[in-house]
């Protein structure tokens, strides 16, 4: 399998190789896919098996960058996110408020139990998962995103309304010059 991938990579043109090299670090890390699981009465949910290894034994639970859902970050990705915010705070002190909010909703040293479940902190559940029975657990690149299944479905419907033809949208952006 590795040989086939290497052979295919050798067949790429210079532009394709440059594109792969530019984004390889993002391709190789990250979370992909979406799963729907229940959340139990104690506030525990299953971390899907494909995500567990990349997450590591201890991880962070906080809010997503847009502050609209719960995020589960591996330690190194959470640290990079915080460093990004700290860099922005050096440019604009108002970012301190964002950092304070981010830290207020951050819980460290979280871990799965032997069944692969994690207890979601009450403060995060109250804010992002009120009365949730099912949650969508989806890959968001650097982190796992957790939201009420109903909210995830509404978000998907909004996406389909905003961008009904993805290929046409891609072509439109690709055709722009120098923006």
pLDDT at 178: 63
Helix (H) or strand (E) holding 146, with range, is strand 144-148
Domains along the chain?
A: 29-147 (3.40.1550.20)
pLDDT given at position 137: 97
pLDDT at 33: 92
Which secondary-structure segment (H or E) carries 94? none
Percent of the chain with pLDDT over 70: 91
Which of the pair, 179 or 175, is modelled with greater confidence?
A: 175
Phi-psi region of 68 (alpha: psi -120 to 50; beta: other; left: phi over 0): alpha
Mean pLDDT across 142-153: 96
Residue 9 pLDDT > 70: no
**What are the pLDDT digits (tens) for 68-118?**
999 999 999 999 999 999 999 999 999 999 999 999 999 999 999 999 999
Q: For strand 144-148 and strand 70-74, is the pairing parallel, antiparallel, or unpaired?
A: antiparallel
Question: What value does the mean pLDDT take over residues 12-36?
Answer: 82
CA distance 149 to 172: 31
Q: What is the dihedral of CA 76, 110, 102, 30, to 10 degrees?
A: 40
Note the pTM of the prediction, 2 decimals: 0.83
């Amino acid at each position: 399998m590795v040989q086939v991938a290497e052979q295919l990579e050798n067949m790429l043109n210079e532009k394709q190789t440059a594109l792969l090299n530019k984004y390889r670090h993002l391709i190789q890390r990250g979370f992909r896919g979406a799963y729907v699981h229940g959340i139990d009465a104690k506030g525990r949910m299953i971390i899907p098996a494909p995500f567990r290894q990349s997450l590591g034994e201890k991880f962070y639970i906080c809010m997503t960058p847009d502050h609209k859902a719960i995020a589960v970050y591996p330690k190194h990705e959470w640290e990079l996110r915080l460093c990004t915010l700290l860099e922005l705070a050096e440019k604009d002190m108002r970012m301190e408020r964002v950092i304070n909010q981010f830290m207020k909703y951050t819980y460290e040293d979280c871990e799965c139990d032997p069944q692969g479940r994690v207890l979601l902190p009450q403060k995060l559940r109250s804010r992002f998962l009120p009365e949730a029975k099912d949650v969508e657990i989806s890959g968001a690149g650097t982190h796992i995103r957790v939201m009420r299944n109903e909210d995830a479905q509404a978000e998907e419907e909004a996406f389909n309304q905003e961008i009904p033809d993805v290929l046409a949208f891609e072509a439109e952006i690709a055709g722009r010059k120098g923006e």
